[in-house]
A and B are shown apart, each in its own frame.
Chain A
Amino acid sequence: MIKTLSIAGTSLEVVERGQGRPLVFLHAGEGLEPERPWLDLLARRYRVIAPWHPGWGNSALLDGMGVVDDLAYLYLDLAAELGLDDAVLVGACFGGWVAAEIMVRSTARFSHLVLVDPLGVKFVGRDERDITDMHALPRAEYLKLAWADPAKGEVDFTRLPDSELAAIVRGREAFALYGWKPYMHNPRLKRWLHRIDRPTLLLWGAEDRIVTPVYGENWRRAISNARLELVANAGHFPHWEQPEAFVDRLTAFAAGNR
């Protein structure tokens, strides 16, 4: 079911599927992709709540702007509006950045955090980068770094209807708007990761070369109760490339420590 919710004076498009414990899924820069298998697999076990971030899908940008802080407050408002309690918060890639921004502000409504190859934090020095410059790569090169099997990421855009192409273009624009400079991170976020006082799983594609498992290890050290697990044969999007393994690992983790 797709709903349009009015939250904090803005219009937010949200997919809701399944029943049980609430699970908020925050999508990657590539978009929500609700027809692909992972949301349905999650919905067998959880009440899945998956918004299109403002700027993607039919969710309006907040005042025409792209500020990740705003997304954190917006989703805290969403969680309050839906009365969520003991929820699992899951964020992939860009969504992982947003999830971390939420949790450094308040962990009250979430008892587990799952970060899937998240962006958002800077660990290394000013002459190095943690996050590959995705916008400086031809698409074929990007696919090689982002996927264990690049063929799985290929899309024949010439066969898609205009409405889908428009959604893709809008999403690409929004992704740039939120993360162009500083590139895909908030320089102040690392300072506050200690505030995440919930069990945290860093689920990482073993072959991700957009943000590598070394970056995942730095995340693990910055959050007090975190563990890092690698997903084999997956790159930057383990939920997309290995959806069953993604859901199994997530479920096993979220069942513990309650």
Chain B
Amino acid sequence: MRVWYFSEMAYHPAWEEGLHCGSLRVVLPNSNYDPQIGHQLLNRYLDEFALCDEVGLDIMVNEHHSTSTCLTISVPMALAIIARETKRSRLLSLGTPIANRPDPVRVAEEMAWLDVLSGGRLEMGLVKGAPYEIAPANSNPANLMRRYWEAHDLILKAMSTTNGPFSWEGEFFHYRNVNIWPRPLQQPTPPVWMTGLSVDTGRMAAERGHVVGTLLSLSAAGPMFEAYRQRARELGWIAGPDRFAYAAVVGVGATREEGRRRANLAADYVRTSPVVAEPFTNPPGYNSLAANVAMLKAGGRRGGFVRDRNGNPVDQTTATIEQLIESGTCFAGTPDDVYDQIKALSDSVGGFGNLLMFGQGGFLDHADTVANITLFAKEVLPRLRVLNPELKTSAVAAE
């Protein structure tokens, strides 16, 4: 198993005001952001990413917009800095919300540039993006996936074509001379990742051999991974654990109490993340027809992605650390506790080869974050490395 550390680089000083006004995203005015404090925080977070390289962790960066929960507004910008400050870590962009980007060729250029800069350490997530990203991007939610797939195909073609220029006249994107410089170091493209919660996503990722990741949701991970494995078998290849990624908040300590305290602080990410002004939580067409019908029947209530082991929704905004451990949202405690929890969860979903580690969130301060990263790398990572190692077959099938 590989472990990818990440932090959303939150601006938690504004969370209290955001909770007070009912939205940490989209409509919370940026007068609640103090750029001087932001300057300290961004630099601190980047130092914590750099530490991961020294201790043997890989690195993941994501992006959000118009929010106090995540101040990374550009994955390539953050990864460009991290690429220069690191030597060994693989660098996962998870990812670029390509259906919200007006210019997919620009995405291909930036990713190729990062791959060259980092010496071929890039892994490239092409993601749908969260529903509340629709408003900041003002992208049409009702044809989001059509645009996603056209952008996906164009980005991969732009990165892998060496005898260009080529032309593209699609439903959404038009170019007459696509011929990106630089081209990526990893040929034909860096490894591609997708994210999702549904069996459909599992199948579609399998058809392309992409890595598929899921977020904080034990109940979604199992069926999605199984759909992937089944589709891969139908297509004549075996999907190994390295095709699957699972994201969770991780808090480790010398004692169980210390590990849980760290996880509990970092888990404020989970508690604040869904606090969004209602109209932006479910733009028309973003969710499936069936999911919307179910939502209307339930009086407009939406189930979050945190579910207990029986599949019942857990209220994310008030969940205790015990509930979050139970739901597979957090791994917390001593190194032994954390290893056992990860192994048990991995076994229960057929084995995943990538852990996306929320090792910092919210009010977890620099000293605690450094301790969390360092202890995890020393005591847990070596054991995980031999759990669910890569299979040669799936690497081949991923082209």
Q: Does B associate with A?
A: yes
Contacts of B16 in A (CB 8 A): none
**In the assembly, what is the distance between CA of A177 and CA of B143, in Å?**
7
Q: Which of B141, B278, B284 contacts A138 (CB 8 A)?
A: B278
Check A173/B293 contact, CB under 8 A, given A135-B284, A157-B300. Answer: no
Check A136/B289 contact, CB under 8 A, given A157-B297, A157-B299, A180-B142. Answer: no
B283 CB within 8 Å of chain A: yes
Contacts of B138 in A (CB 8 A): 180-181
A168 CB within 8 Å of chain B: yes
Contacts of B140 in A (CB 8 A): 176-177, 180-181
Contacts of A7 in B (CB 8 A): none
> Are the C-beta atoms of B292 and A169 separated by less than 8 Å?
yes
> Are the C-beta atoms of A168 and B142 separated by less than 8 Å?
no
A–B Cβ pairs within 8 angstroms, 25 of them: A65-B143, A66-B143, A135-B283, A136-B279, A136-B280, A138-B278, A139-B300, A157-B297, A158-B297, A160-B296, A162-B297, A166-B289, A168-B296, A169-B289, A169-B296, A172-B284, A172-B285, A173-B285, A174-B142, A176-B140, A177-B143, A177-B285, A180-B139, A181-B138, A181-B139
The SS class assigned to the B binding surface is helix
Contacts of B280 in A (CB 8 A): 136
Contacts of B143 in A (CB 8 A): 64-66, 177
**In the assembly, what is the distance between CA of A139 and CA of B292, in Å?**
15
**In the assembly, what is the distance between CA of A29 and CA of B165, in Å?**
43
- Residue of B whose beta carbon sits closest to that of A142: B279
> Are the C-beta atoms of B293 and A135 separated by less than 8 Å?
no
Interface, chain A (partner B; CB < 8 A): 64-66, 135-139, 157-158, 160, 162, 165-166, 168-170, 172-177, 180-181
Digitize B148-180: 1 where CB-to-A-CB distance is under 8 Å, 0 elsewhere: 000000000000000000000001000000000
**In the assembly, what is the distance between CA of A201 and CA of B146, in Å?**
39
- Residue of A whose beta carbon sits closest to that of B299: A158
- How many whole Å from B320's CB to the nearest CB in chain A? 29
Q: Which of A66, A138, A169, A180 contacts B293 (CB 8 A)?
A: A169
**In the assembly, what is the distance between CA of A137 and CA of B138, in Å?**
15
Contacts of B142 in A (CB 8 A): 66, 173-174, 176-177, 180
- How many whole Å from B228's CB to the nearest CB in chain A? 26
Contacts of A165 in B (CB 8 A): 292-293, 296-297
B135 CB within 8 Å of chain A: yes
**In the assembly, what is the distance between CA of A246 and CA of B330, in Å?**
59
Interface positions, chain B 285-301, Cβ under 8 Å from A, are: 285, 289, 292-293, 296-300
Contacts of A168 in B (CB 8 A): 296
- How many whole Å from B49's CB to the nearest CB in chain A? 35
Check A166/B293 contact, CB under 8 A, given A180-B141, A180-B142. Answer: yes
Interface, chain B (partner A; CB < 8 A): 135, 138-143, 146, 171, 277-280, 283-285, 289, 292-293, 296-300
> Are the C-beta atoms of B284 and A162 separated by less than 8 Å?
no
**In the assembly, what is the distance between CA of A157 and CA of B142, in Å?**
21
> Are the C-beta atoms of A136 and B298 separated by less than 8 Å?
no
Among A137, A160, A172, A181, max chain B CB count under 10 A is at A172
> Are the C-beta atoms of B289 and A138 separated by less than 8 Å?
no
**In the assembly, what is the distance between CA of A66 and CA of B292, in Å?**
20
Contacts of B146 in A (CB 8 A): 64
> Are the C-beta atoms of B141 and A176 separated by less than 8 Å?
yes
Contacts of B299 in A (CB 8 A): 157-158
**In the assembly, what is the distance between CA of A139 and CA of B141, in Å?**
18
> Are the C-beta atoms of B298 and A135 separated by less than 8 Å?
no
- How many whole Å from B26's CB to the nearest CB in chain A? 9
Beyond A136-B279, A176-B285, A180-B138: 14 further Cβ-contacts under 8 Å? A65-B171, A135-B279, A138-B278, A139-B300, A158-B298, A160-B296, A168-B296, A169-B289, A173-B284, A176-B283, A177-B285, A180-B139, A180-B141, A181-B138
Q: Which of A137, A160, A169, A176 contacts B279 (CB 8 A)?
A: A137
- Residue of B whose beta carbon sits closest to that of A171: B284
**In the assembly, what is the distance between CA of A127 and CA of B336, in Å?**
58
**In the assembly, what is the distance between CA of A169 and CA of B284, in Å?**
8
Contacts of B139 in A (CB 8 A): 180-181
**In the assembly, what is the distance between CA of A38 and CA of B272, in Å?**
46
- Residue of B whose beta carbon sits closest to that of A138: B278
Contacts of B297 in A (CB 8 A): 157-158, 162, 165
Contacts of A64 in B (CB 8 A): 143, 146
- How many whole Å from B387's CB to the nearest CB in chain A? 43
**In the assembly, what is the distance between CA of A82 and CA of B266, in Å?**
65
**In the assembly, what is the distance between CA of A231 and CA of B288, in Å?**
38
Contacts of B284 in A (CB 8 A): 135, 172-173, 175-176
